[in-house]
Structure 1
Amino acid sequence: MNFTLPGTRRIVLDDDPADLVRIDRGAECAPQDAGLSEEAVAAIAEAMLDDMFGTRIYPAVTFCLRRHGRIVLNRSIGYARGLAPERPLALNARVAEPDTPVCLFSASKAVIALLTHKLAEEGGIDLDRPVSHYLPAFSGDGKTHTTIAQVLAHQGGFPQFSAEGHGPEVLTDWDRCIERICDMPAEAGGRRLAYHAFTGGFILGEVIRRVTGSSVTEYLDSRLRKPLGMRYFTYGLDGRSRSRVAENHVAGQPVRWPVSRWAEEALSVPFEEVVDISNRDFFMDAVIPAGNLYATAEELSRFYQMLLDDGIYQGRRLFEPATLARALRPASNQFLDRTLKIPMRYSEGLMLGMNPIGLYGPMCGAAYGHLGFMNILGWADPSRGISAALMTTGKAILGGHLVTLMRSLGVLNHHCGGLRA
């Protein structure tokens, strides 16, 4: 069912969508091996790929679903490059593949959070100590006693950069970002829940860098990327991979006041500028811990499957059970997020599901993961035994596509465990 509203910026395409589906048949198991029927898998594929692409908001959609550790679906639909809303298909357009890398945007936060928990597991930091203990410049103006745990839980008191004039390129200047955060005033940590779109990631990354003497990328490589056997799954993208990356495009309903103001406050730069810079080389050259990790849908699902498997991947333990127990436990009750303007429930680093409905669909109170800008999702749901990743390249805040997303997640949750799971 198509819930697209009039006036929506949509892709225009004459192709039969069925011709644009790509399936990683070598990876997908037989439905019964994952405890599902063929009809259930077909319904999930239709909901998560066909229906999402049918909104004409997303030039490309990639989706990977694991159940009980087995890959049930690893598929893509649409064009990775050469197709944008309200533009004709380019002559050099390239169809998306299941292994097409996509920028995770804020879904990257789950990774920097787990790296921070890993450093605590190794004894490098104490999550309950102030950030200023490891980064002395992060002090004064309400910040001195703010703990690492509070930053992880979006209660650090510095949710966005100060309002001083700056362009989007500031996000690619690591040292300048750290300097600006340390210089600006903030609330005392823990006073209110307010999503830290970029600021928290830089501070967590700087703590990792100061304590380990290694870059965030090096620490990610050694603790997660290489042990998990990832091809991408890193901040930024090397030159040889850029021809394969999926382009991002503004889509959906025009973003007007007051939503436009809220979006700019949350993102620190205007909505459409974020989309534009994400396709630029200087963005892919940068390391933005909370916003520019690149991965395939299968890689993100693999990461969450490792968490679902109690920190073990192919017989190797990557996280201790106590580390994951802390990373996944609620850091607060459900409260209104002052940045996102919606009720949210966080752990120290992850967005938690809610009942009767939440980010991961209906009756997803046991789920955990993270949302990415916009409608990128990576999550695990232990009540259903699933780890999943949904990647989309059309960036829309408002519109009927949100109804389609919730309906699609409802179909997925129903077939993987029922709405009462």
Structure 2
Amino acid sequence: MTFDRIERSTIAGTVYGHVDSAFAELADIFTANFEVRGEVGASLSLFHEGRRAVDLWGGRKAVGGDAWDEDTISIVWSSTKGITAIAAHHAVEKGHLDLDAPIARYWPEFAREGKEDATVAMILDHSVGVPALRDPVKPGGFADFDYMCDRVAAERPFWVPGTRHGYHGHTYAWTLGGLFRRAVGVPLGDYIRSELAVPLGADFWLGLPTSEHRRVAPMVYPTDPLFGGQSRANHAIENEPGAPFTLMMTNDGAYDCNDPAYWPVEIGSLNGMTNARGLATLYSALANGDLLTADTIARMGRTASASHLDATLLMPMRFGLGFMKTTDNRSASHLVDCTLLLSEDAFGHVGFGGSVGFADPAARMGFGYTMNRMGAGVMVGDRAQLLIDAAYRALGYRSKASGAWV
């Protein structure tokens, strides 16, 4: 590899890092994101064949604020789910979990209200049926792990588990987290640190200690209408107070991702703290077979649930067991930032507003992108997708016309 050192001034601050000359287009796009696409602060990392080929960061932690440094981290919202899913599959390999087992084997209290036959795999593919809670969450409830586990265990499912899928945007934290503590015996955050992050040298935290708070870039919430304002989900939030999407977006106990009181707690669906290098490091270990067996990686990459109408998001979605798969919503002109174009071999997860991490075992690529200015969609916008596109082009892929890079 031939590395080029990067130091470029932009209207939002300076971009730093290095890039393998074969991936030089990514540095150009990353810089342009600050100049023409409203980026405030961000990081980008790509590993190819186990070697770091792109490592960039820049901009500011807040509009007009301090510089985004090499070790700056931020909340990555649902990109957290991909890492907790890696932990779940790791626990399966260690014999702590059986994907086909009923949840009741590990968590008897969950087996009620029609969830008696729900399996572990149904948690991971978003078909277990509790994407939201009907009764109000108490103020600050997201910071009370046991309370939230009790709530999801007691909830009546919105459909018969396993018969359809609907994105468990928030409740995934406690369906998977509650199961994990009972089956494995330790919190997800502790397991990720000891079994994944520390051994691999990944700067990822689920439950951020106070000593690390100084590194956090707060999120800049989107100002554009959610999903573009014309989606079925927008219609639901305006007209259907009992719809899963409405409840997911409104019944959160006044959660605020920028409140440091939430940073030290485990919310395994949304409050992972990391940067692009942290995400790419973890996914690179999967892409190169350095962490889990080939059988496990094949299972992780397989599509497990997909439909033209996710029961929560009310748009086409595709999921693996804990991961998002390439999902092409470009033909739906009313949906903004609701597409993610990868290869069919790839699997990973996006975070609300646009962060993303994924592994592509066929390309032997681990990819991570994080930022603080959020977009309006549930998938990625131009800032991330243009970077992903450039990565695939650099590796010899030719087209995404089919909805997947080939």
TM range (shorter): 0.7 to 0.9
Gap change, CA 1:124 and 1:408, over 3 Å in 2 = closer
Correspondence for 1:196 among 162, 168, 171:
168
Kept in 2: contact 1:106–1:371 (CA 8 A): yes
Q: Confirm or deny that 1:247 pairs with 2:222.
A: no
User: Which residue matches 2:47?
Assistant: 66
Deviations 1:80-135, CA, capped at 9 Å, x for gaps: 13x1xxxxx3xxx2111232111121111112112122222122221111111211
Q: Partners in 2 of 1:396 and 1:181 — Cα distance? A: 29
Structure 2 vs 1, CA of residues 403 and 272 (structure 1 numbering), >3 Å: closer, same or farther? farther
Change (3 A) 1:266 1:112: farther
C-alpha offsets along residues 162-182 of structure 1, whole Å, 9 cap, x if unaligned? 2x2235622111011011111
2:133–2:251: 8 Å Cα contact kept in structure 1?
A: no
Letter of the structure 2 residue corresponding to residue 285 of structure 1? P
Whether 1:297 and 2:276 are equivalent positions in the alignment is yes
Q: Which residue is 2:353 aligned to? A: 374
Gaps of 5+ in 2: 1-7, 331-337, 400-405
Q: Which amino acid aligns with 2:44?
A: F
Which residue pairs with 1:185 in the alignment? 156
How far apart are the structure 2 equivalents of 1:141 and 1:269?
Answer: 20
Contact map agreement 1:22 1:75 (CA 8 A) in 2? yes
Flag the 1:271–1:304 CA change in 2: closer, same or farther, 3 A. farther
CA distance in structure 1 between the aligned counterparts of 2:44 and 2:275, rounded to whole angstroms = 9
- Residues 19/118 of structure 1: CA separation in 2 closer, same or farther (3 Å cut): closer
Task: Please give the residue correspondences for 1:112-131 in structure 2 after superposition, counting only pairs within 5 Å.
Answer: 112-131=84-103
Is 2:22 the partner of 1:50?
no
SS, match of residue 215 in structure 2 = coil
Q: Secondary structure at the match of 2:267?
A: coil
Q: Matched residues in 2 for 1:274 and 1:303: separation?
A: 31
Structure 2 partner of 1:346: 319
Cα drift, residue 17 of structure 1: 1.0
Q: Matches of 2:252 and 2:133 in 1, distance apart?
A: 16
Separation in 1, partners of 2:305, 2:225: 34
SS in 2 for 1:109: helix
Specify which of 3, 23, 28 is matched with residue 16 of structure 2: 23
Are 2:180 and 1:224 aligned?
Answer: no
- State whether residues 197 and 282 of structure 2, in contact with CA within 8 Å, keep that contact through their aligned partners in structure 1: no
* Contact 2:208/2:263 (<8 A) preserved: yes
**Is 2:141 aligned against 1:170?**
yes
CA separation of 1:274/1:59 partners in 2, compared to 1, >3 Å: closer, same or farther? farther
Quote the residue 1:6 is aligned against. none
Number of residue pairs matched by the alignment: 376
CA displacement at 1:54 relative to structure 2: 3.3
What letter matches 1:234 in structure 2?
W
Quick one: distance in 1 between partners of 2:329 and 2:247? 32
Query: Secondary structure of 1:283's partner?
Result: coil
SS at match of 2:109: coil
Distance in 2, Cα, partners of 1:179 & 1:121: 27
3-state SS, counterpart of residue 137 of structure 1: helix
**Amino acid in structure 1 at the alignment position of 2:200:** L
- Would you say the 8 A contact 1:115–1:220 is kept in 2? yes
- Taking only aligned residues, the RMSD between alpha carbons, in angstroms, comes to 3.0
Q: Distance in 1 between matches of 2:377 and 2:320?
A: 26
| TM-score (normalised: structure 2) | 0.83
- Identity %, equivalent residues: 24
CA distance in 2, matches of 1:269, 1:169: 15
For residues 6-405 of structure 1, the aligned pairs below 5 Å read: 17=10, 20-25=13-18, 28=19, 30-31=20-21, 36=22, 41-47=23-29, 49-81=30-62, 83=63, 89=64, 93-162=65-134, 164-166=135-137, 169-186=140-157, 187-230=159-202, 232-255=203-226, 259=234, 262=237, 265-266=244-245, 268=247, 270=249, 277-310=256-289, 312=290, 318-354=291-327, 359-361=339-341, 364-397=343-376, 402-403=381-382, 405=384
| Residues 249 and 275, structure 1, Cα contact 8 Å, conserved in 2 | no
